[in-house]
Amino acid sequence: MISEDDRRRTAYHEAGHAIVGMLTPGADPVRKVSIIPRGQSLGVTFSAPDADRFNFEQQHLLAQIKVALGGRSAEEIVFGDITTGAESDIQHLTRIARSMVGRWGMSRAIGPIAVIPQDGMSPLLPGAAETSESTQRLVDEEVRRIVESAHAEVSALLREHRGNLDSLVSALLEHETLDEVDAYAAAGLPRNQEAAAEPQLTLDAAHTTAAPDGPLA
Confidence at residue 130, expressed as pLDDT on a 0 to 100 scale = 63
Confidence of residue 125 (pLDDT cuts 50, 70, 90): low
Question: Could you state, in order of their start, the residue ranges of all structural domains in the chain?
Answer: 4-210
Tell which CATH classification among 3.30.70.270, 3.10.20.90, 1.20.58.760, 1.10.3720.10 matches the domain 4-210: 1.20.58.760
- Please state, rounded to an integer, the average pLDDT across all residues of the chain: 85
Residue 76 is among the residues annotated as catalytic for this protein: no
Is 77's pLDDT higher than 80? yes
Residue 21's identity, in one-letter code, is: G
Confidence at residue 209, expressed as pLDDT on a 0 to 100 scale = 53
Residue 26: left (phi > 0), alpha (psi -120 to 50), or beta? Answer: left
Is 126's pLDDT higher than 80? no
User: Taking Cα atoms as reference points, which of 36, 105, 58, 66 lies closest to residue 47?
Assistant: 66
Q: 133-136 contacts: CB < 8 A, separation 24 or more? A: 135/110
Cβ neighbours around 182 below 10 Å, total: 16
120-140: average pLDDT: 69
Confidence at residue 216, expressed as pLDDT on a 0 to 100 scale = 27
Is 210's pLDDT higher than 70? no
3-state SS record for 110-179: CCCCCCCCCCCCCCCCCCCCCCCHHHHHHHHHHHHHHHHHHHHHHHHHHHHCHHHHHHHHHHHHHHCEEE
Query: What is the distance, to the nearest Å, from the Cα of residue 66 to the centroid of all Cα atoms in its chain?
Result: 5
Residue-wise pLDDT for 187-207, tens only, equals 999 986 544 433 333 333 455
Confidence at residue 134, expressed as pLDDT on a 0 to 100 scale = 87
Catalytic member of 14, 75, 76, 87? 14
Confidence of residue 56 (pLDDT cuts 50, 70, 90): confident
98-123: average pLDDT: 79
Comparing 215 with 1, the larger pLDDT belongs to 1
Confidence at residue 120, expressed as pLDDT on a 0 to 100 scale = 45
39-61: average pLDDT: 89
Confidence at residue 192, expressed as pLDDT on a 0 to 100 scale = 60
Residue-wise pLDDT for 166-190, tens only, equals 999 999 999 999 999 999 999 999 9
**Secondary structure class of 46 (helix, strand, coil):** strand
Confidence at residue 128, expressed as pLDDT on a 0 to 100 scale = 54
